[in-house]
Amino acid sequence: MRNRPPERRVIRLFPEYGRDWPLWESSTPTWDVGYTTTPEMYGLSEQLSQDMARWNAFWERHFDPFEGWDNHESRERWRRDGERIAACLRREVASFADVSYEPWPLEDETSE
């Protein structure tokens, strides 16, 4: 049986350069979703979709892969917004998926 979703899907939330949406999901033998996904694939609200697009664009403008964050305020704003977006995403997909929030640009940063 092809294209049958697993009982519980796992949606990954993390930014990546050149992507409009910070949404990812691994395919399974019965569920070929590719790897990059979109809000439409999950039936997300317009508000959450817009918030995610802004969050990802903000990250691209304020985080450099070699230099890090342009300032502490940008980092903190992105962190707070990401936590709120992850919580909203969890609520909106609670009936069929879990969310793995992976804000990797925050892992190696030291507190200022």
| Residues 67-100: tens digit of each pLDDT | 999 999 999 999 999 999 999 999 999 999 999 9
Q: Model-level pTM?
A: 0.84
In one letter, which amino acid is 72?
H
Residue 36 banded pLDDT, cuts 50, 70, 90: confident
Residue % of the chain over a pLDDT of 90: 66
Distance between CA atoms of residues 73 and 71, nearest Å: 6
Residue 54's H or E segment, with its range, is helix 46-62
